[in-house]
A and B are shown apart, each in its own frame.
Chain A
Amino acid sequence: MSQRVTIDPVTRIEGHLRVDVEVDGGKVKKAWASGQMWRGVENILIGRDPRDAWAITQRICGVCTTVHALASVRSVENALQLELPVNAQYIRNMIILAHAVHDHIVHFYHLSALDWVDVTSALKADPAKAASLAESLSSWSGNGKAEFTKVKERLSGFVGTGQLGIFTNGYWGHPAMKLPPEVNLIAVAHYLQALEVQRHANKVVSILGGKTPHIQNVVVGGVANALAVDSQAVLTVERLLAVKDWIDQLADFVKNVYLIDVAVVGGSYPEWTQIGRGIVDYISVPDIPLDGRNTEFALPGGHIAGGDLASFKQIKTHDDAYFKDGVSESVKHSWYEGGKGPLHPYKGETRPQYTDFQDDGKYSWLKSPTFYDKPMQVGPLPRVLAMVAAGHKPTIDYATHALDLVSTVAKTKVGIDALHSTIGRHAARAVACAVEVDELARQWDLLLASMAKGDLKTFNKPVFPKGEIAGVGMHEAPRGVLSHWIVIQDGKIRNYQCVVPTTWNAAPRNEKDEPGAYEACLAGTPVAIPDQPLEVLRTVHSFDPCLACAVHVVDHERQPVVRVTAA
């Protein structure tokens, strides 16, 4: 008999992401991803000054504040064809990259590692054995026997007092948990160290962005940071040296801890390279602009069809018609008024029409975006594959290094094909993070070199023409392609649409009833125990879901998160 498993973590009316799967014979047959939140932020923007949009859009969500701020100013600058001073690009690039590094570290250690790591098993570990294993893989200073002993004692203390605290919701002892106790202990130690390290990334964002959460330095036309070689009131060389120190510490952790942990987990769960393939049509956009007109980039992006790197078609600029003309969104299965077929974002409409959850009808607040009528997967995996296909050497080197480590742990040769999978998305994210942390250091060098030449310019004033103009702000955000689409009439916003990464990945079925990326990738996922759907969480978490609306009213009542019913 098949069973229906519903995972709905926030069971208030607003909700976040809900995932339903139909399980038959121990495997997922069909899946539905549903955004349980009405996201009509665009409607708030209509009629406003385009120069204010970034400050409002960065409130869309709590994790991705900076990315919406940047995509928003880029959309206005694209509409105006406004050139930026390169210093503004370097400062924005550093914010983008520091945010991405922060996001990837927190995602792996504090959201998804516990899908693979059994914390209670770490209590059985021998710290000396753990230390010799960890030291054989990495030169990281936090891998010693004393450190692991201390972590084990702290963990025992928590378990002893019945306060497992942060770890209470794990599926401990689940048959899908397979790491040896020593690896679990290493991972728990790194979980705690990651809490310390992530704050360095946050400090970089707050020094450059003026404030965090919610940066303050972005303006249409550049950034509001005043640069100076010596004045105390502004961004000085002295403060930039502190930034460099944090970047170096982040780089040490990313390369010597994060990348290695992901490879060890990947190599220990080789069966997960065969699960979660789903949609292998990939899209990413280039980012980290090196000129004022967004035509040269440090990190390339583009479209890959059918998982074949040879099909790679590069997206060359942020004005590239191949991207701008290819995007449309369907609302056939979304709670919006439709009937006009898929619409380009400039013509997008956001008029709600709620129907309740209908398996074959409307069932999500997310629209269903397509690229030339095909559903896409976005995120670090598409980004890494595009960079490899474009011949980006640092990406090729880190990907090779990671896959070699996975092969050593798995004791079998694991190639780049293994990346089209649940565990592959984690590996790609770690590779992307290593590339990004190096690029962060390079952007710092570029800014300092520019200042040394006496260039302290950070802003070009925008001028809004009479009549209608339109623009797109593209950004390769941590979770993938983000695009803000703006139509401006006489200096006021006439239409605004955000097509966010999770809309691509968590999309409901499209106009042709084809499933979105989560839905397609969940098909075939094994489920050992329906009311403990750990395997489903593994695949969903591998995408790093981000529903662009963080409603978090304190919920006073406790509701069940997982429901199992007869299908």
Chain B
Amino acid sequence: MRVVVLGVGNILLSDEGLGVRAVERLRRAYCLPPEVEVIDGGTSGMELLEDLEGIDALIMVDAIRAGAPAATPIRLAGEALPVFFRTKLSPHQVGLSDVLASLELLGRSPRHISILGLQPQSLALGMELSREVEDGMPALLGMVVSELALLGLVAPAISSGEV
């Protein structure tokens, strides 16, 4: 089994980068089984095609705007996954959803996809997370670990200290 935990977002825009921050901390705080590859995807698109090709499961971690209070944990899977395609003006809008659809067209898309995230509080310029989202990070890491458990993979914490 091959599983990718992909953190995406722009770390220059505070909570926009929470997905990247989450996977950085996941790597440090948990002992991940060999089936799991952790990738900092930043804001890239097509460059990720190869990494996501033919994998069994993709767990994407991102900021999710759902009109909920700041730092609300959100899980999207199956029918709840966002609509993939829209009119685009820029290759920056050729995002991950297009990569996934391209893989579908090639018959090599991940068999299981879920998106985990938090409602962002601030998308202002800055390299720090907002306090609310910072406080919500342990819960988000817990969600990633539970998601791995659903796939039958165990990821014990390295220590119970701060992440």
Beta-carbon contact of B93 and A110 below 8 Å = no
Residues of A near B90 (CB, < 8 A) are 9, 16-17, 111, 545-547
A103–B49 Cα distance when bound, in Å, is: 14
Of the listed residues A38, A163, A553, A562, the one surrounded by the most CB atoms of chain B closer than 10 A to its CB is A553
Q: Is B125 an interface residue (CB 8 A)?
A: yes
A551 CB within 8 Å of chain B: yes
B 93-142 contacts with A by CB, 8 A: 93-96, 98, 101-102, 104-107, 115, 117, 120, 123, 125-127
* Residue pair A214, B42 in contact (C-beta under 8 Å): yes
Distance in angstroms from A451 CB to nearest chain B CB is 28
Q: Are A546 and B89 in contact (CB under 8 A)?
A: no
Which of B50, B115, B123 touches A199 (beta carbons < 8 Å)? B50
Contact mask for chain B residues 61-84; partner A; CB cutoff 8 A; 1 contact, 0 none? 011111100000000100000111
Q: Contact at B46–A165, with CB atoms within 8 Å?
A: no
Using CB atoms, name the residue of chain A closest to B127.
A44
A166 within 8 A of B: yes
Q: CB within 8 Å of B: which of A1-49?
A: 7, 9-10, 12, 14, 16-17, 19, 38, 40-41, 43-44
Choose the segment among A57-65, A135-143, A420-428 that binds chain B (4+ C-beta atoms closer than 8 Å).
A57-65
> Within the complex, which residue of B45, B50, B123 is in contact with A14, where a contact is CB–CB below 8 Å?
B123
Q: Once the chains bind, are A558 and B83 in contact (CB under 8 Å)?
A: yes
Instruction: Report A219 CB to chain B, min CB distance, Å.
Output: 20
B158 CB to nearest A CB, Å:
24
Cβ distance A2 to chain B, nearest Cβ, rounded Å: 22
**Known pairs A63-B44, A550-B10, A556-B65; A199 contacts B91 (CB<8 A):** no
Residues of B within 8 A of A102 (CB): 46-47
Distance in angstroms between the alpha carbons of A549 and B41 in the assembled complex:
15
Residue of B nearest to A214 (CB): B42
B43 within 8 A of A: yes
A152 to B96, CA, bound (A): 25
| A17 engages B123 (CB within 8 Å) | no
Cβ-defined contact, B92 with A158, below 8 A: no
Give the contact stretch, choosing among A287-295, A372-380, A397-405, A536-544.
A536-544
Q: Closest approach, in angstroms, between the C-beta of B9 and any C-beta of chain A? A: 8
- On chain B, the residues within 8 Å of A107 by CB distance are 91
Q: Does A241 contact B (CB under 8 A)?
A: no
Q: Choose from A166, A199, A537, A551 the contact partner of B89 (Cβ within 8 Å).
A: A537
Complex interface residues of chain A between 142 and 171 (CB less than 8 A to chain B) = 154, 158, 163, 165-169
A561 at the interface (CB under 8 A from B): yes
- Given A19-B89, A554-B64, decide whether A40 and B83 contact each other with a Cβ distance below 8 A: no
Q: Are B92 and A63 interface neighbours, CB within 8 A? A: yes
- Is A555 on the interface with B (CB-CB < 8 A)? yes
A163, B86: Cα distance in complex, Å = 14
By the criterion CB–CB under 8 Å, are B82 and A110 in contact? no
Q: Is A106 a contact of B92 with CB atoms below 8 Å?
A: no
A41's partner among B9, B12, B50 (CB-CB below 8 A) is B12
A163 smallest CB distance to B (angstroms): 8
**Which residue of A19, A165, A213 contacts B42 across the interface (Cβ within 8 Å)?**
A213
Q: B42 touching A12 by the CB < 8 A rule?
A: no
A192 on the B face (CB < 8 A): yes
Q: Are B120 and A213 closer than 8 Å at their CB atoms?
A: no
Closest Cβ of chain B to A176, distance in Å, is 15
The verdict on A226 contacting chain B, using a C-beta distance below 8 Å, is no
Contacts of B11 in A (CB 8 A): 59
Asked whether A195 lies within 8 Å of B85 as measured between CB atoms, the reply is no
Q: Find B65's partner among A17, A213, A550, A554 (CB 8 Å cutoff).
A: A554
Closest to A534 in B: B87
Which residue from chain B places its CB closest to the CB of A10 in the assembled complex?
B93
B24 proximal to A (CB < 8 A): no
Is A395 interfacial (CB-CB < 8 Å)?
A: no
With A and B bound together, what is the CA distance between A202 and B99 in angstroms? 14
Contact check, B65 vs A551: say whether CB atoms are below 8 A apart. no
Does A225 interact with chain B (Cβ within 8 Å)? no
Question: Please, how many angstroms separate the alpha-carbon atoms of A169 and B126 in the complex?
Answer: 34
Q: A41-B12, A202-B47, A552-B8 are known contacts. Are A9 and B63 too (CB-CB below 8 A)?
A: no
Q: From A38, A56, A165, give the contact of B84 (CB < 8 A).
A: A165
Q: Which residue of A lies closest to B60 (CB)?
A: A554
Whether A541 lies near B92 (C-beta < 8 A) is no
The answer to whether A165 and B101 have CB atoms under 8 Å apart is yes
B-to-A contact residues, CB < 8 Å: 8-13, 16, 40-50, 62-67, 76, 82-96, 98, 101-102, 104-107, 115, 117, 120, 123, 125-127
29 A-B interface contacts by CB (under 8 A): A7-B87, A9-B86, A9-B93, A41-B12, A56-B12, A59-B11, A62-B42, A62-B43, A158-B105, A165-B84, A166-B85, A166-B101, A166-B102, A169-B86, A169-B87, A192-B106, A213-B40, A540-B89, A545-B90, A545-B91, A551-B43, A552-B9, A552-B95, A553-B120, A554-B65, A554-B115, A556-B76, A557-B65, A561-B86
A-B contact sample (4 more), CB < 8 A, given A59-B12, A558-B83: A9-B90, A16-B93, A106-B94, A110-B91
Q: Which 9 A-B pairs have the closest CB atoms?
A: A62-B43, A550-B43, A213-B44, A166-B101, A545-B90, A550-B92, A62-B44, A561-B87, A553-B63
